[in-house]
Chain A
Amino acid sequence: MYRWFLSWRYLVTRRTNFIGITGITVAVGALIMILSIMTGFLVEARAMLRGGLSDVIVTPALFAGQGVPRTPHPALEVIRSDDRVKAATARLTWWGLLAGAGSSAARSAAILNDSQADGLNAVQLIGVDIGTRERASQFGVRNFLTLMGFDWTPPRLQGEFETTELLADLQREPHPWRRGAPVANPYLPFQAPPGFMRAGRQLGFVIVGEQLFTTLGLKQGGELKVLTVVPDPVSGELVTNDRDYIVAGTFRSGENDVDIGRIYMDRLELWDLLGRQHTYSEILIRLNDFDRDGSAVQHDLVRELGERGLIVPVDHDPHTAASQVRTWEDFRQVMLSAIENERVLLGIMLSLILVVASFTIFAILTMMVTEKRRDIGILTAVGASPRGLLFTFLTIGFWNALLGTGFGALFGILGATYINEIESELSSLLGIEIFNRNVYIFDTIPAVLDPVAIIAIVAGAFSVTLLFAAIPAWRAARLDPIVALRYE
């Protein structure tokens, strides 16, 4: 029994042990905290990277002249009949140039005069399938049902809103420093803003990214000129088109390049601007369970849509066929790999902290074995076996590991849980802002406690410490007792 008794006595009478325990506590605690925060950041970053991307995006090689149907309905029918699909919607995208407020003459001059090019913005034009006039009645029904306590979104709206984050972008609070102008009814964004007086001309409505809106000095209800270049359906030559729209309001995604480079309008409105040639350029799909079905659905759609001639079929050109159906991960492959890489690297780097902390135990125990040479001789004389001595010193390592990892796990978990409280306390104490909320999209420090990671850290720290303790313990067992006993 002396093993437990003595190891505990040596532990509490030697201050150096507390340095070792503190070292492990700090290492394990920091590791858990940092990993939790990193996991939180990575989860958020993944969500950010995904942004408004749908699970699966079908982009038929429409403009390559493969004879693909011009309306999205046959493809949508096929896609929606799949049980794994939650929602699907068609989109039309194109590129255009924007000119803000001011006379069109001044803007035309700006086009010609390169030095004034910052008055023009290249933007992505996105025609979405929300429907305006024809869906207003559906919306009326929805309002009525909501009043009655039912939650019902019209199917067509549901498609667009389910597959993208557009609804959230329309509802997000404007950025405090910018001039946002949220639409009155996010379910029907392409409508005249409150108090808008129609001045004779029948113009379409657009929703502009908040930052673009600010940069161009636009006004809600004001006019906006959109210029595009499209191939002439008859001659095939490129012609410019321009048209005025009314700014119905703004959206805010939180992603800078989206908020400055995108405007939304009704799909049929855009179809009209582009010379009524193509009704859609992509179909966005949301699945019930992307992680489970993502790649299977992707594979099935390539085959099914190809067989029906809705996209370029596999037997025609396998490479093009496959590239027409992509998951969101395909779009962000490089970034996702980078994140994954970073996580692995971080794990390796942080494990080094653990090794260093465990190494202090090695140093402390080695010191103790040297210091306790005489005790080891005495214990041998009184009848302790080499094995007993080995276990005695190993047990000191065990106490160090147990207390260190125990306290470390406790502090780590508490620290990760109350990281925001700790941050605000520290910030006010030090008078500096530690977590700059303007740099990140998140308002709080995200921390995700992963039980598997915590168990792995604790178990790893524990076994590495024991492993390091084993070396001096083994030395203690092999010491010659005589040398220690001969002299005082």
Chain B
Amino acid sequence: MQDPTAHGAAGSDPTGPDPTGSDPYGQGAFGSTAPVSAGFALPLETDPRSKPAKPRGAGPLLSARGIQKSYAIGERKIEILHGVDLDLAHGESVALVGASGAGKSTLLHVLGLLDRPSAGTVELGGVDTWKLSPTQRSALRNGQIGFVFQFYHLLPELTAIENVLLPAMISNSTAGFRRRRAGLRQRATEMLEAFGLGQRLKHRPGQLSGGERQRVAIARALFNDPPLIIADEPTGNLDTQTGEDVLELLFAEHRRLGFSLLMVTHDERVASRCSRALEMVDGRLLTRR
């Protein structure tokens, strides 16, 4: 186990990007008690910090096949996704572009286990996720997936540091959280400090600027060290400069921690910084690059 204080400032970590897709997460890396056995490390109630370590077995982290999604509006059935296939390797970063209303968010929700597809399968670490119980899927969301939304989506009643601690609060029992509280708080503090929010720990989301809120949201998404980060237009609500800074931070963490990143963006320059770019056109995925 690595010392929780080892979380340095963004970009200062010598570990570069990990193009081989090796697994940066050691066994027992996640603070979750998910009852699923998957290809990746599962869940001990431990401090979810570990050195990027041994590569994972072959096979993609995420594998979606034949995803369809349709909504019934009255009599009519609108199909948003017409059979999407997608593989996401460990550690790679994928940009998803496409016109507004093309179904990008819908796809992310399906891949993020928030929305059940009308047809198709989503495998995460080799586990067919939509065959699991709701509680098991919740545990996967908690330990394996971090979300970053366009509208930050922080809990307004919680302070910045409490928002960051939320994933750990959910994965830990009351007793477990109390036991690890000091360590977890220290880790959250260090993360926020590294993100330039050292003076904002006790502030509520309402007292923070958009850029600050999004950085808190990124810290929250990263807190349980998930192997997959899903970001839906993370800069869509920010001005250009603030958006640049937030993206810089996200890419730096990606390089340092080696998680897989799936990000919706409208910015071609951002897309070009990712290892792959996909385009969603009328509910289908086209490879851009």
Instruction: Give the B-binding residues of A (Cβ under 8 A).
Output: 1-2, 4-6, 9-10, 13, 374-375, 377-388, 481-482, 485-488
Flag if A385 contacts B114 (CB, 8 Å). Answer: no
Report the minimum CB–CB distance from B124 to chain A (whole Å). Answer: 13
Determine if A2 and B169 form an interchain contact, defined as CB atoms under 8 angstroms apart. Answer: yes
Q: Which of A377, A382, A482 contacts B170 (CB 8 A)?
A: A382
How far is A377 from B149 in the complex, measured between Cα atoms in Å? 12
A13 to B158, CA, bound (A): 10
Q: Would B167 and A383 count as touching, CB distance under 8 A?
A: yes
Verify B115–A482 contact, CB threshold 8 A: yes
Question: Can you name the residue of chain A whose Cβ is closest to the Cβ of B158?
Answer: A9
Q: How far is the CA of A28 from the CA of B13 in the complex (A)?
A: 61
B112 engages A381 (CB within 8 Å): yes
Across-interface contacts of A13 in B (CB, < 8 A): 157
Q: Is B63 an interface residue (CB 8 A)?
A: no
Interface of A is mostly: helix
Residue of chain B at shortest CB distance from A374: B153
Is B57 at the interface (CB under 8 A from chain A)? no
Q: CA separation between A219 and B283, bound complex, in Å?
A: 112
B105 interface residue per 8 A CB criterion? yes
Are B138 and A383 in contact (CB-based, < 8 A)?
yes
When A and B form their complex, what is the total count of cross-chain residue pairs whose Cβ atoms lie within 8 Å? 81
The 10 closest A-B pairs by CB, nearest first: A383-B142, A385-B138, A1-B174, A2-B169, A488-B151, A1-B177, A385-B135, A383-B141, A378-B153, A381-B147
Q: Which residues of B contact A481 (CB under 8 A)?
A: 114
| B-chain residues with CB within 8 Å of residue A378 when the two chains form the complex | 153-155
Nearest-neighbor residue (CB-CB) of A380 within chain B: B114
B115 pairs with A381, CB closer than 8 A = no
A106–B149 CA distance with the chains assembled, in angstroms: 108
- CB neighbours (8 Å) of B153 from chain A are 374, 377-378, 381, 485
As a 0/1 sequence over residues 173 to 200 of chain B, the CB contacts with chain A under 8 angstroms (1 = contact) are 1101110000000000000000000000
Nearest opposing residue in chain A for B174, CB measure: A1
* Interfacial chain A residues near B134, Cβ < 8 Å: 385-387
Give me 10 other A-B pairs in contact (C-beta within 8 A), A2-B166, A381-B147, A482-B109 excluded.
A5-B169, A9-B157, A380-B138, A382-B141, A382-B147, A383-B142, A383-B143, A384-B138, A387-B134, A487-B151
Smallest Cβ distance from B234 to chain A, in angstroms?
Answer: 14
Q: Please list the residues of chain B having a beta carbon within 8 angstroms of any beta carbon in chain A.
A: 32, 105, 109, 112, 114-115, 134-135, 138-143, 147, 149, 151, 153-158, 166-167, 169-174, 176-178, 220, 224, 237
Most buried by A among B135, B141, B153: B153
Which chain B residues border A487 with CB–CB below 8 Å?
151
A79 to chain B, nearest CB (A): 69
Residues of B within 8 A of A486 (CB): 105
The closest CB in chain B to the CB of A2 belongs to B169
A-B contact pairs, 23 of them (CB 8 A): A1-B173, A1-B174, A13-B157, A375-B157, A378-B153, A378-B155, A379-B170, A381-B112, A381-B114, A381-B147, A381-B149, A381-B153, A382-B141, A382-B147, A383-B140, A383-B141, A383-B170, A384-B170, A385-B134, A385-B138, A386-B134, A387-B135, A482-B109
Complex contacts, A5 vs chain B, CB 8 Å: 169
Residue of B nearest to A4 (CB): B174
**B109 contacts across to A, CB distance below 8 A:** 482, 485
In the complex, what residue of chain A is closest to B144 when comparing beta carbons? Answer: A383
Q: B138, A1: Cβ atoms under 8 Å?
A: no
Chain A residues with Cβ below 8 Å from B167 are: 382-383
Whose C-beta in chain B lies nearest to the C-beta of A5? B169
CA distance A488 to B112 in the complex (A): 19
Task: Report the bound CA distance from A425 to B205 in whole Å.
Answer: 49
Docked pose: A384 CA to B141 CA in angstroms:
8
A381 — which chain B residues lie within 8 A by C-beta?
A: 112, 114, 141, 147, 149, 153
Cβ contacts under 8 Å, A374 to chain B: 153
The answer to whether B220 touches A382, judged by C-beta atoms less than 8 angstroms apart, is yes
- CB contacts (< 8 Å) of B176 on chain A: these are 1
| A13-B157, A378-B153 known; A388+B138 contact, CB < 8 A | yes
Distance to closest chain B CB from A367 (angstroms):
15
Task: Report Cα–Cα, A375/B155, bound state, in Å.
Answer: 6
Given B114, B138, B141, B158, which contacts A482 in the complex, CB threshold below 8 Å? B114
Determine the chain A residues whose CB is within 8 A of the CB of B174 once the complex forms: 1, 4
Q: Give the Cβ gap from A57 to chain B, nearest Cβ, in Å.
A: 66
Contact of B157 among A10, A377, A488 (CB under 8 A): A10
Are the CB atoms of A1 and B149 closer together than 8 Å? no
Residue in B112, B147, B167, B169 whose Cβ sees the most chain A Cβ within 10 Å: B169
Q: How many whole Å from A11's CB to the nearest CB in chain B?
A: 10
Nearest A-chain residue to B204, judged by Cβ: A13
- The answer to whether B172 and A1 touch across the interface, beta carbons within 8 angstroms, is yes
Instruction: Give the CA-CA distance A242 to B169 in the complex, in Å.
Output: 97
In the assembled complex, the CB of A293 is this many whole angstroms from the nearest CB of chain B, namely 57
CA distance A381 to B155 in the complex (A): 12
Contacts of B169 in A (CB 8 A): 1-2, 5
**Are A388 and B170 also in contact (CB < 8 A) when A382-B147, A482-B109 are?**
yes
A78→B139 CA distance, assembly (Å): 83
Q: Which of A2, A13, A375 has the most CB of B within 10 A?
A: A2
Query: Chain B residues with Cβ under 8 A from A482's Cβ?
Result: 109, 114-115
Residues from chain A with a CB closer than 8 A to the CB of B166 are 2, 379, 382
A383 vs B237: C-alpha distance when bound (angstroms): 24
Which of B134, B140, B172 counts the most chain A CB atoms within 10 A? B134
- Which residues of B sit under 8 angstroms from A485, Cβ to Cβ? 109, 114, 149, 153
